[in-house]
């Protein structure tokens, strides 16, 4: 009987026996309580061995090497551009060259780190995420220190996929759903500004409210409750749309509309002249 087998890169063959033995021992344990040995388990375990092989291998499969990374983009030179970093092995050891910083290793390291995780799967242009605040609207005024809901319409993001941010931060590549959209979640962040006329950059370390939205959108809308409201002042409300492991979403092309939204809102008992206009 003829049957097809997955093609295994020669670079991965040295690990095949180890993984095969590991999986088969698990199969034997699973069948130990049964008087019959499952023949189907043997067939399934072969496919499983291939999956595990690519997952635990510490060797770079030649089949996934991006040869385009060897080109610095400047042959010939292009005005206004700089040469790209290059690699013949997908930058697999890039973090070995990052001096005096730890590996990110799933942690949020405030002093900086180097993350060796690949960027992952990129959606098609037809599946790029987008969002728009429904409430509050731009330049709305809300009573200070009063509970309110932030609602945001969102499309092309498979929301509700939220991993542990303390142990798995940036710890896996961006992934796509079966429909080709990024699996992930969104966040709402609110920062106080001096007025709408402020032109200085804000400090990302300072914010008045932050919430990760780990539940799926309902009817294409995400909701965040600001239960205590906000003190009087002018604020910027913004979204941060991310993949499951909290990395900002990645798109397939450089030129695209914003994946996030922002509105400017006042919290005043009475609207100050020129504050919101």
Give 172's contacts (C-beta < 8 A, 6+ positions apart).
Answer: 117, 120, 163, 244, 245
Q: Please state, in angstroms and rounded to a whole number, the distance separating the CA atoms of residues 62 and 70.
A: 14
Average pLDDT, the chain: 86
Q: How many of the other CB atoms lie within 10 Å of CB of 253?
A: 9
State how far the Cα of 205 lies from the Cα of 219, in Å rounded to an integer.
33
Total structural domains within the chain:
2
Kindly state whether residue 217 falls inside one of the protein's structural domains.
yes
Give 74's pLDDT tier (boundaries 50, 70, 90).
very high
- Give residue 206's pLDDT band: very low, low, confident or very high (50, 70, 90): very high
Domain that holds residue 30: 10-56
- Assigned domain for 44 exists: yes
pLDDT at residue 1 in the model: 45
| 137 & 15 share domain | no
- C-beta of residue 229 within 8 angstroms of C-beta of residue 147: yes
pLDDT of residue 263: 98
pLDDT tens readout for residues 118-127:
999 999 999 9
3-state DSSP assignment of residue 148 = strand
Residue with tokens 């990395």: 247
Q: How much is the pLDDT for 28?
A: 53
Provide the whole-model pTM. Answer: 0.80
- The predicted structure's pLDDT at residue 270: 73
Considering only residues 34 and 66, tell me which one the structure prediction assigns the higher pLDDT. 66
pLDDT digits (tens, 9 = 90+) for 169-187: 999 999 999 999 999 999 9
Per-residue pLDDT at 52: 58
Q: State the pairing for strand pair 242-243/182-193.
A: antiparallel
Question: How far is residue 214's CA from residue 160's CA, in Å, rounded to a whole number?
Answer: 5
133 and 234 belong to one structural domain: yes
């Amino acid at each position: 009987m003829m049957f097809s087998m997955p093609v295994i890169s020669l670079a991965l063959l040295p690990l095949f026996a180890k993984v095969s033995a590991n999986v088969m021992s698990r199969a034997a344990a699973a069948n130990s309580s049964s008087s019959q040995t499952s023949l189907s388990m043997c067939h399934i375990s072969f496919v499983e061995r291939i999956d595990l092989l690519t997952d635990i291998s510490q060797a770079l499969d030649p089949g996934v090497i991006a040869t385009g990374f060897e080109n610095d983009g400047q042959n010939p030179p292009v005005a206004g551009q700089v040469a790209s970093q290059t690699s013949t092995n997908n930058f697999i050891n890039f973090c070995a060259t990052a001096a005096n910083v730890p590996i990110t290793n799933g942690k949020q390291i405030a002093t900086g780190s180097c993350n060796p995780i690949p960027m992952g799967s990129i959606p098609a242009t037809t599946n790029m995420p987008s969002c728009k605040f429904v409430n509050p609207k731009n330049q709305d005024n809300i009573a200070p220190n009063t509970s309110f809901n932030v609602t945001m319409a969102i499309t092309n993001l498979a929301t509700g996929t939220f991993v542990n941010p303390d142990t798995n931060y940036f710890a896996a590549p961006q992934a796509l759903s079966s429909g080709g959209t990024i699996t992930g979640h969104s966040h709402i962040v609110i920062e106080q500004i001096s007025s709408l006329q402020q032109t200085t950059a804000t400090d990302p370390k300072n914010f008045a409210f932050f919430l990760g939205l780990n539940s799926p959108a309902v009817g294409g809308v995400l909701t965040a409750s600001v239960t205590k409201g906000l003190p009087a002042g002018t604020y910027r409300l913004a979204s941060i749309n991310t993949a499951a492991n909290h990395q900002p979403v990645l798109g397939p092309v450089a030129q695209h509309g914003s994946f996030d939204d922002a509105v400017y809102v006042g919290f005043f008992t009475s609207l100050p002249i020129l504050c919101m206009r």
